[in-house]
Structure 1
Amino acid sequence: MGVAVRAAGEDDRALVVRLLDEAFQDDPVSSWVFPEREHRRATHHRLMAAFTDIVFAEGRIDITEDGSACALWLSVPAGDHAEDGGASGGASGEVDDAVRLREGVDPANERVERIARLTAEAHPAGRAHEYLWMIAVAPARQGEGLGTTLVRHVLDRCDRAGLPAYLEASSARSARLYERLGFAFTDRTLDLPDGPRMWPMWREPRV
């Protein structure tokens, strides 16, 4: 039996935030943004909530029918590039988006603002594409192929429309998983200051 996927609505917000919070608590990038474990436990969900609200406003969130996994996508138009440090990682943003993100999530934590600026600067410009911002699977359901199902749900549409796709893998392991879906590493890694490495990846549509 296949996994049913639907578009999340505003009434799914709490579920999406919880999935993201649980899935990324010990992710290398989240651990860099919030290095103190107890502070991360208390604050991380605010960053996930901010990301969720941005994507609800500007993109699309897909969720499995049973609520065990979700994927956050933005449609980036041709020529769009958040060189101004917008927190939307390639979506249209104002100069102070990254500042507002920090102030709304964890005002004293400069790394909240830094990660928004660095990912925006690394985002490719030029061609329209679909941006997989985040994907989360409930810890108890990981390894069942739910994430692959969610990604393929959009990649199939990309292939039909002739659209490329982009993401930043937060670990070497996840980068290898995305390679199986047709993503390829771009020309350089995104190395967080005194922190982990991210792998920007691009996928050409399959004809």
Structure 2
Amino acid sequence: MGVRVRRADERDRGQVVRIMEEAFHHDPVSAWVFPDEAHRRAVHGRFLGAFADAALDGGWIDLLEDGTATALWLSVPADAPEEDDTPARMREVTDPGNERVELVGRLSAEAHPRGRAHVYLLMIGVSPERQGEGIGEALVSGVLDRCDRDGVPAYLEASSERSRRLYERLGFRLLGRGVDLPDGPSMWPMWRDPHTG
């Protein structure tokens, strides 16, 4: 599928957050972090905005030109620090009284592989009316093609069974056990070595 993608910048932040809010409003992990739907609607944009800021600062954001899909990527060096206060900062910025904001970040960080440079698909979102058209796969495939050419692995955490199946089709494999959120859904850490030949 041919999609027209451009690199987003700070001016696109609001649009990126809007796409992510629409795509993740009913996501199992988002619903666990913010179980009250009215509260989720009020603070979810701040939560997703923190991810957008991280990608703008330490990676890049791909944005479909028609404004219906976006992918947030980070470049992770081999010597990335083990300890990071990002989960605590996210809680402070997003929803200070909600310990789940910090917990999901800490549990994800514990599962994240260290010691090898890679690209990290932090989040990908497709507007609900465009889901199922192959847009997400096309957005990810372009980056994976570059990873293959450059010999760079990729990592992500799938937050639903549907996304996990998509990533398996793209060559990702499960990496150890899932991240089980207390009394909540699972996330699946997944790794993809670059394909050669």
Partner of 1:195: 184
Over aligned residue pairs, what C-alpha RMSD do you find? 1.1
Q: What TM-score do the two structures reach when normalised by structure 1? A: 0.92
SS at match of 1:78: coil
Partner of 2:9: 9
Amino acid of the residue matched to residue 23 of structure 1? A
SS at match of 2:124: strand
How far 1:100 moved relative to its partner? 1.7
Partner of 1:23: 23
SS at match of 2:57: helix
How far 1:97 moved relative to its partner? 2.5
Distance 1:159 1:199 in 2: 22
Distance 2:165 2:86 in 1: 31
4+ residue runs over 4 A deviation: none
Structure 2: state its 5+ residue gaps: none
How far 1:10 moved relative to its partner? 1.2
Structure 1: state its 5+ residue gaps: 87-95
Q: What TM-score do the two structures reach when normalised by structure 2? A: 0.96
Q: Relative CO higher for 1 or 2, CA cutoff 8 Å, sep ≥ 6?
A: 2
Distance 1:187 1:51 in 2: 24
Distance 1:79 1:100 in 2: 22
Partner of 1:43: 43
Partner of 2:92: 103
Amino acid of the residue matched to residue 68 of structure 2? S
The partner residue of 1:174 within 163, 177, 184 is 163
The partner residue of 2:142 within 146, 153, 161 is 153
The total of aligned residue pairs comes to: 196
How far 1:38 moved relative to its partner? 1.1
Distance 2:111 2:129 in 1: 32
Distance 1:99 1:204 in 2: 31
Distance 1:165 1:177 in 2: 14
Partner of 1:137: 126
1:76-115 maps to which residues of 2 (within 5 A)? 76-81=76-81, 83-84=82-83, 86=84, 96-115=85-104
Partner of 1:116: 105
Distance 1:108 1:160 in 2: 45
